[in-house]
């Protein structure tokens, strides 16, 4: 059985982008009210007194857009300072990153995944639903800042959407040749975006690999991280290529993570809502952290049964009702 030691923490469900595949413009978003968000103290109590004692040591901060969370640098510092913490990482859209990169690093953040779906500013703005001044250059500046500050590994996430950015696969893959950057292609998932998914469909990782293989060749590679990506490398490249293939392959058997939403719901699986625990209400109604540790220990025992496979075979209850930004993707 997999050691489950990795917690993805959504710091906030709001975002400064409206990516077509995540929270498309026009979608009525049911945002979490401020008083329903876990406070900094509640979050740190849960990490220190519930998650760490049962074996969680790696924490990824995500959202929504985690850099919108007030006092995000202080939160990173507090999580990194627990002696048991082995790793604090973040997934961000990078828009607010450039001025924060150094202080996040100094606070103890070491690994960053930055979303970059296109190298063409116009296409990028179209994907993120931006009609004002292009935001691509701010994100690119964030990536450069993170690189010069020393974040390693620095991963760039690309959700591949047919007819939108799939013509850029080789250009994006080429970013790994001269720099130690790690580009990860993510299969597009039908979560909260049924119109786009219905129109466009998705591209499999193997199709992308074929394209890259026939241009440069492809060998297997290695990169530090906790993810479900299959890692490859263009021969001689400094960085790697990751493929996250949750549509074409099932990696439930390798799953080592749980998710904590910004309003305190602990979810054992991205797409299967069975077994979830409302930790915030528990804390606010006086349930002890000792009791919560017991509940979490029981959940860890049944986690292998609560998975994406169940969803695919239609036996899970309530799925796809939330967007990635709400689940904490």
Out of ligand SAM, ligand SF4, none, which partner does residue 23 contact, by CB within 5 to 8 A per kind?
A: ligand SF4
Q: Are 108 and 76 in contact (CB under 8 A)?
A: yes
Q: Distance between CA atoms of 177 and 134, rounded to whole angstroms?
A: 27
Question: To the nearest whole angstrom, how small is the minimum distance from the Cβ of residue 317 to ligand SF4?
Answer: 25
Nearest residue (CB) to ligand SF4, 268 versus 328: 328
Binding flag, residue 75, ligand SF4 (CB under 6 A) = no
Number of residues that bind ligand SAM (CB under 6 A): 20
Contacts of 108 (CB under 8 A, 6+ apart): 76, 77, 79, 80, 81, 88
For ligand SF4, the closer of residues 68 and 299 by Cβ is 68
Query: Does the protein bind ligand SF4 through residue 20 (CB under 6 A)?
Result: no
Q: Tell me which of 7, 9, 12, 19 binds ligand SF4, using CB under 6 A.
A: 19
For residue 265, what are the β-bridge partners? 278
Which stretch in 19-27, 43-51, 77-85, 188-196 sits in contact with ligand SF4 by CB under 6 A? 19-27
Q: Nearer to ligand SAM by C-beta: 52 or 191?
A: 191
> Which neighbouring-strand residues pair with 186?
159, 244
Tell me: does residue 32 bind ligand SF4 (CB under 6 A): no
Residue 157, interface with ligand SAM (CB under 6 A)? yes
Distances in Å between the Cα of 241 and the Cα atoms of 134, 170, 248, 258, 326 are 27, 11, 17, 25, 27
- In angstroms, the CA 1 to CA 224 distance is 21
Q: Which string of x and - marks every residue 190-229 that binds ligand SAM (by CB under 6 A)?
A: -x-x------------------------------------
Interface pick for ligand SAM out of 189, 212, 260, 296 (rule CB under 6 A) = 189
Q: Does residue 172 bind ligand SAM (CB under 6 A)?
A: no
DSSP annotation of 38 = P
Cβ closest to ligand SF4, residue 18 vs residue 211: 18
| Cβ partners under 8 Å of residue 93, min gap 6 | 15, 16, 17, 65, 114, 115, 128, 139
DSSP SS3 for 218: coil
Q: Is 63 in the site for ligand SF4 (CB under 6 A)?
A: yes
Contact flag: residue 324 with ligand SAM (CB under 6 A): yes
Whole-angstrom CA distances from 16 to 69, 90, 263, 280 are: 11, 16, 19, 25
Phi-psi region of 139 (alpha: psi -120 to 50; beta: other; left: phi over 0): alpha
Phi, then psi, of 210 in degrees rounded to 5: -60, -45
- Kindly tell me which of 11 and 149 has the beta carbon lying closer to ligand SAM: 11
Q: Which span (14-22, 26-34, 50-58, 173-181) binds ligand SAM, by CB under 6 A?
A: 14-22
Closest CA to 156 of 185, 194, 193, 127: 185
Residues interacting with ligand SF4, by CB under 6 A? 15, 17-19, 22-23, 63-65, 93, 115, 324-325
Residues interacting with ligand SAM, by CB under 6 A? 15, 21-22, 62-63, 65, 91-93, 115, 157, 159, 186, 188-189, 191, 193, 324-325, 329
């Amino acid at each position: 059985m997999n050691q489950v030691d990795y917690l993805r923490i959504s710091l906030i469900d709001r975002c400064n982008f409206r990516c077509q595949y995540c929270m498309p413009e026009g979608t009525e978003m049911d945002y979490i009210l401020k008083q329903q968000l876990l406070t900094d103290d509640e979050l740190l109590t849960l990490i220190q007194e519930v998650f760490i004692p049962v074996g969680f040591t790696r924490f990824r901060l995500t959202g929504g857009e985690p850099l919108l969370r007030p006092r995000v640098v202080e939160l990173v510092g507090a999580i990194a300072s627990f002696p048991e913490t082995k790793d604090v990482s973040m997934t961000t859209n990078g828009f607010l990153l450039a001025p924060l990169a150094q202080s996040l690093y100094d606070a103890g953040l070491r690994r960053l995944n930055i979303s970059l779906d296109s190298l063409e500013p116009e296409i990028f703005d179209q994907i993120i639903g931006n009609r004002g001044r292009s935001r691509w250059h701010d994100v690119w500046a964030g990536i450069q800042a993170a690189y010069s500050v020393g974040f390693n590994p620095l991963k760039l996430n690309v959700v591949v959407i047919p007819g939108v950015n799939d013509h850029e696969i080789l250009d994006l893959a080429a970013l790994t040749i001269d720099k130690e950057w790690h580009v990860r292609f993510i299969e597009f998932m039908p979560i909260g975006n049924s119109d786009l998914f219905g129109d466009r469909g998705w591209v499999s990782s193997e199709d992308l690999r074929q394209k890259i293989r026939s241009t440069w060749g492809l060998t297997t590679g290695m990169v530090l991280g906790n993810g479900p990506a299959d890692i490859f490398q263009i021969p001689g490249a400094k960085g790697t290529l990751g493929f996250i293939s949750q549509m074409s392959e099932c990696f439930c058997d390798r799953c080592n993570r749980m998710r904590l939403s910004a309003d305190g719901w602990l979810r054992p699986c991205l797409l299967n809502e069975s077994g979830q625990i409302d930790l915030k209400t528990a804390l606010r109604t006086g349930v002890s952290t000792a009791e919560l540790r017991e509940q979490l220990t029981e959940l860890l025992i049944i986690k292998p049964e609560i998975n994406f496979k169940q969803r695919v075979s239609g036996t899970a209850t309530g799925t796809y009702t939330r967007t990635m930004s709400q689940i904490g993707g």
